[in-house]
Amino acid sequence: MQFHQVDATPDLSQRLAWFSANLRIEDVPVNALANSKLAILDCLGVSILAVSQEVGSALSRLATSEKWTGPCSVWGSEIRASSRDAAFANGTLAHALDYDDGGHASTYLLAAAMAMAERDDASGKRLLEAFIVGREVRMALEPVFADRFEGVGPGARGWHANGIFGPIAAACSAGRVLNLDGPHMLHAVGLAAGSCGALGRDGGTLAKPFRAGHAAATGVTCALLAAEGFTGDEKALEAPFGLLSAIGPINEKTLAGLGANLGQKFHLSQHGVKVKNIAAGARAHAPVEAMLRVIQRQPIAASDVATIECDVHPFPLLRILPKRGHEGRFSMAFCLSVALFFGRLDPTDFTDDMVHDPRVQILMRSVRHSPGSKVLTIILRNGEKLTEPVLPVSDLCEWSQVAEKFSNCVRRSLTQEQRLSVIEQVDHLEELVSVTALAASLRGYTPPLTS
């Protein structure tokens, strides 16, 4: 009998596990530490903003009906929960608005690590180590999905990277807080490898943030089980009938290089963190910024617009004409229409009322797909044509910028004293004896129950 062999690094699972068990903050480059704190502060802010919106209300109802209780906080609320429920809720909230940093790994990694750290009264240093462990593990696996926009690999076939690799990375983060040794961490990886799944089709639905919450809760569960002696396959990633085989075929060169530089070169150091300015799918950002530049230069009445032309990126922005507010985050037509009509695109603009606004509806139907175009073109009814190049996105990269975004996100949920306290504690995270004070500073109100 012949078995299909996956030409991956033969000890990939072990490499991830041993790195996760043994990383110490002293091993991490200074700029990687700084970038981790940017990602953590941003993730906390966007999570708390989501508490008062649709996803937050649904989670609040779930917590009430299921009588959640426990030692861990659901950020921005008064809800207390078990480590697994808190990880699920916070991971879901973090990704609910698609306002979290590029790649979305921070959502489930911080949720998993923070839940375990709060449960065990762990130090800020341990939390920071755990976050970095998960981030580096997750990005070590990213090449599998790197060519999805070129129509290559599992991402192009419908798998979503964070649902596939998120539980593994979250298990490594949670296991680092638990101080799992290499063999136990390896079993956590093995358990998580078969606990994954997410679809590109999820974009624009509440299933997408649910996958982040599921990854966080699954990671916590796998780490806790491994600590109690539960075992998984020790080559669950790379062996025949393992995860990489299941989502393949995958380019052999890509497989052979997975994890090759783990612990030697830090992704957080080399590539930094892409903190979003806009709460929508990343492919919408550059065209929206182009639209805002146009109307700043020349105000346009919506009634004067005949057509808007650009590359609408139907993959991954597959909600062409959205019917719900959250679908608008994955609709280029909606994002451009709101930006043109209101001169902005705020996180709170993605509502059902906005989607069904007749003026927005008319503008959305004027958008035309121009595949591969690097230019935004607005054609007015009088024949005038306005063009603007679609430039690289202006992500936030400075601590002051991210701190301002955080403050804007939480201003209705946290007091000024809380806001300043969170910013200060994250900035000096490795010095915190316990994360308990940070968790306390993140508690806000419980959103009213809505039908």
- b or e along 174-190 (b: 16 or more beta carbons within 10 Å of the residue's beta carbon)? bbbbbebeeebbbbbbb
- b or e along 13-33 (b: 16 or more beta carbons within 10 Å of the residue's beta carbon)? bbbbbbbbbebeeeebeeebb
Q: What domains does the chain contain, in order, with CATH numbers?
A: 12-276+400-441 (1.10.4100.10), 282-389 (3.30.1330.120)
Cβ neighbors of 389 (< 8 A, separation 6 or more) are 290, 374, 375, 376
Q: What is the pTM of this model?
A: 0.95
DSSP state of 158: T
Torsional class of 448: left (φ above 0), alpha (ψ -120 to 50), beta (otherwise): beta
Per-residue pLDDT of the chain (451 residues; tens, 9 = 90+): 333 445 567 899 999 999 999 999 999 999 999 999 999 999 999 999 999 999 999 999 999 999 999 999 999 999 999 999 999 999 999 999 999 999 999 999 999 999 999 999 999 999 999 999 999 999 999 999 998 888 889 999 999 999 999 999 999 999 999 999 999 999 999 999 999 989 999 999 999 999 999 999 999 999 999 999 999 999 999 999 999 999 999 989 999 999 999 999 999 999 999 999 999 999 999 999 999 999 999 999 999 999 999 999 999 999 999 999 999 999 999 999 999 999 999 999 999 999 999 999 999 999 999 999 999 999 999 999 999 999 999 899 999 999 999 999 999 999 999 999 999 999 999 999 999 999 999 998 544 444 4
- b or e along 327-358 (b: 16 or more beta carbons within 10 Å of the residue's beta carbon)? bbbbbbbbbbbbbbbbeebebebbeeebbebe
Tens digit of pLDDT for each residue in 252-265?
A: 999 999 999 999 99
- Please give the full DSSP string across 259-327, using - where no structure is assigned: TTTTTTS-HHHHT---B-SSSS-GGGHHHHHHHHHHHHHS---GGGEEEEEE---TTT---SS-SSTGG
What's residue 147's pLDDT? 86
**Distance separating alpha carbons of residues 42 and 97, to the nearest angstrom:** 13
**Distance separating alpha carbons of residues 155 and 84, to the nearest angstrom:** 28
Q: Mapping DSSP to helix (H, G, I), strand (E, B) and coil, where does residue 129 land?
A: helix
In which element (H, E) is residue 136 found?
A: helix 124-140
